[in-house]
Structure 1
Amino acid sequence: MTHERIEINPAMMAGKPVIRGTRVPVELILRKLGAGVPVEAVLVDHPRLTLEDIHAAQVFAADYLAGARL
């Protein structure tokens, strides 16, 4: 499965998965959501993100945990 909105680049953010075209790590999005921060607040905090980016971060994490090839 490809994750078009997710980028992994060893030269950026120590190789952590980020939303393509940003330096926003998938981990940061998931931690905020897990802490109960509403999606709307995440979007305000990171105005370059879209709702689709947040969904892509969630799908990426689910696929990663399921052992899918990334």
Structure 2
Amino acid sequence: MEALKDILSVDTEILGGQPVFSGTRVPIETLFDHIEKGITIDEFLEDFPGVSKKQVLALLEVANKLVTAGNIEKLYEIAS
């Protein structure tokens, strides 16, 4: 798996510190908005050519690991 810094970055100088795909100004949230609307990853990549498929797949892997049973209790603690 890629290093997190290769997938996303947070910089107060870029979109006020909103997490974006590294090397771009594309918010991470935009990917999830697209998926929520039924837009495919390939269509997302067409809309945002600065984002690589490798970044998208790595981000989804990170998201998957965050919500697995072993980590879900930590998420509940953070969200409380």
Where structure 1 has 5 or more consecutive residues not aligned to the other structure, the ranges are none
2:20 to 9, 18, 21: 18
Is residue 45 of structure 1 aligned with residue 47 of structure 2? Answer: yes
Deviations 1:12-45, CA, capped at 9 Å, x for gaps: 1111110111000100111101211011100110
Q: Kindly report the root-mean-square deviation, in angstroms, between the aligned alpha carbons of the 2 structures.
A: 2.1
Q: Which has the larger radius of gyration?
A: 2
Partner of 2:7: 5
User: SS of the counterpart of 1:11?
Assistant: coil
Higher RCO, 1 vs 2 (CA within 8 Å, ≥6 residues apart): 1
Where structure 2 has 5 or more consecutive residues not aligned to the other structure, the ranges are 76-80
User: SS of the counterpart of 1:23?
Assistant: coil
Partner of 1:32: 34
Q: 1:33 to 1:23 in 2, by over 3 A?
A: same
Corresponding pairs, count:
67
Query: Which structure has more helix as a fraction of its residues?
Result: 2
Q: Is 1:30–1:58's contact at 8 Å kept on the other side of the alignment?
A: no
